[in-house]
Chains A and B, each alone.
Chain A
Amino acid sequence: MADHESHDKIYIKVFVALCVFTVLSALADLAKEASPGVVGVVVLAIAAAKAACVMLFFMHLKWERGWKYVLLAPTTILAIGFPIALMPDIGWSYYHRVPTETMIEAGHDNDSHGETATDDGDH
C-alpha cells in the first residue's frame, strides 16, 4: 500500500512538472523579441525534458530492467541517423544553389505555371 501511495505522489509530481514545462513552451512562443534559433533550442530542450519525464515515470522505464536498452538503443540510433543522413543533400546544399526565384522564372518560361517550385528544381 505504501508503494502504491509513493507511486501516486511521483505521478502527481510528474504531471505538475509536465504542466509547468508546457506553460514555459507557450511563454517562449510569446517572446517575439528573442532570436527564433534560441526559442527553437529552448522549446525543443523543454520537449526533451517532458519526453524524459513521460518515458521514465509514466512508462516505468526508470524501474524496468536491462531489456529496455536492447530494445530502444537500435531504434534511437536509427531515428537520429535518418535526418542526419538526409541533411547533406536536402538540407544543406541543393536549395542554396538553386534560389526560389530562379525556379519560379524557369517554370514561367516553360509556360508551366501550375508546377510547384520543387518540380521546377528538378530541371
Chain B
Amino acid sequence: MRPAEEQTLTIYERSQEGRRAFQAPAAGVPETAVEDLLPDWARREAPAELPEISEPEIVRHYNNLSKKNFDLDTGFYPLGSCTMKHNPKVNERVAALPGHARLHPLQDAEYAQGALELMWNLQGALGEVAGLPHVSLQPSAGSHGELAGLLLTRAYHEDRGEHRHKVLTPDTAHGTNPATVTMAGYDVVKVGTAPDGGVDLDDLRSKADEDVACLMLTNPNTLGLFDENITEIAKIVHEVGATLYYDGANLNAVMGRTRPGDMGFDIVHYNLHKTFTQPHGGGGPGAGPIAVSDRIEPYLPRPQVVRRESSNGQGPSFDLEFDRPKSIGRLRGFQGNYGVFVRSYAYILSLGGDGLQEASETAVLNANYLLARLKDPGVAEHLPAAYDRVCMHEFVLSGAPMRKHLGLKTLDLAKRLLDHGFHPPTVYFPLLVDEALLVEPTETETKETLHAFADVLAEILREGGEDPEIARNAPYSTPVRRLDEAGAAKRPVVRQEL
C-alpha cells in the first residue's frame, strides 16, 4: 500500500521536470522555426505548465482515480429522479465510428448529410415519444431545456402582446424548475400538493390567472406518482392562456403508454442521459432536447435541422434552416453535442417502439416489486412508503419512524449502504417528505439485485436496532469517510497553485 497522501496527489504534483510519456522521432523533413509560423502576438512568452509524467504514471493516476468512483458499472445505483439505467456499450462503439467522431462541427451541411439525417430522425423519434411534432436538439442539458421552454413561452406571449410575470411550480418540483423560472426573469409561485400526492387543484385554480405564463410539471411527479387529474390541470392552465411545460425527468415511466402531448402539454424537455442511455456524468457533454406543439413552433431556436424533398427525382436532402424570424435565437454553438445524439438514436433504434414501451413497463414493474418487498416486517415499520399507492418508476420512503425509533437519520442509512456496495437512493428530496429516501431501481436491474438491496436495507435496520453508532459513523469502506459538506459549501477550494 502506498501512503494515503500519495494516492491523492494531483497530476501536477506528480510532475518531474524533463520526464516524458512520448518522444517524437527526429523529423524527416526540414523543420521550420515556430517564429516563422506564428506572429509574435500568437506565441506564448513562456511554455505552458503542463505535467511532465511517464506513461505508466499517467495510466496509474487515472486508473486509481476511476477506482475511487462509484459508478453504474460498479453496482446498483437507485438514485431516484436520475434514472441510472445501464448504458449499452454498443452505443459507444457506434458513437466512436470515425464518420461520427471525426466529423468537424464547421463542416458544410452539404458534406454532413449523414449526421443531419441522424439528427432529423432522432427529432422524429423523440417527437413521437412526446406526442409533440416539433423538436430542437440544441439545449444541452435538462436545465437548458427548461430555460428554452420559458424563453419560448415568453416569445409566444409577447408575440400576442401579452406580458405575464408569474410561473407556477408544484412544491414537489425539481429544484431546477424554480431556479429556471428565476433565471428566465419570472416570479416563482408555488402550488401545493393534495393528500394523494398530486397537484392541489383548488390551490392551482386560486393561483391560475392572466399573469401566469406557465405551469411547470412532471408527470409522474417527483413522488413517483402519476397525476390522474392531468387533463383537468391542462384545462385550468390553458383557460388562462398559460403554457403547460413538461419536465421530462420522469419520462422513463411512460414511454409508449402515454404521451405528454396527449395530456395537453405544450413544451417538453427530454433528459437524454436519463431516458435515452447517454452516460451521466461529471458535467460532461449532455443534451436536453425540447419538443413543442404547433403554436410554439415558430419560436424554436435556430437553426433547425430540416428535410428538403427533391424536385428532380433524387432523394431528400437535409439542411440547417436559419430563416426563422420569430425564433428565440441560438442556444449554443454548433449543433449540440452530436455524440450524445448518436448514442440516444442507437438506443432508440435498437429497442424500437415496442422495446421503449417495454423498458418503461419494466421500470414501473421493478419499482413496484421493490416497494412490495420493502413492506416486509423489519423494514416497513421504520421506512414506510410516504404515499401508499401503486407507484410509477420510483417511490418515496420516509425515514421519520427510523429516526424516532432507532435514532438513525436517512443520511446514516444512505452512508451505510455504501459499505454494502450499493449507491444510496436520493435523500432528503422531495422536500415535503420528512427524512425522504427516493428510490428508482430502473428497468435494467435483475430481480436478484432488487432482493439483495431489500435484504441489505433490512440488515442495516436490524443492526441499527442493536448498535446505531455503526451506521452513524458509516461509511467505513470508501476512499473517504463522511465529507465536510458544510465546508465544501462555504469554503470551497477550487484552485491549486502550480
Is B truly associated with A? Answer: no
Binding site for A on B (CB under 8 A): none
Spell out A's residues near B (CB within 8 Å): none
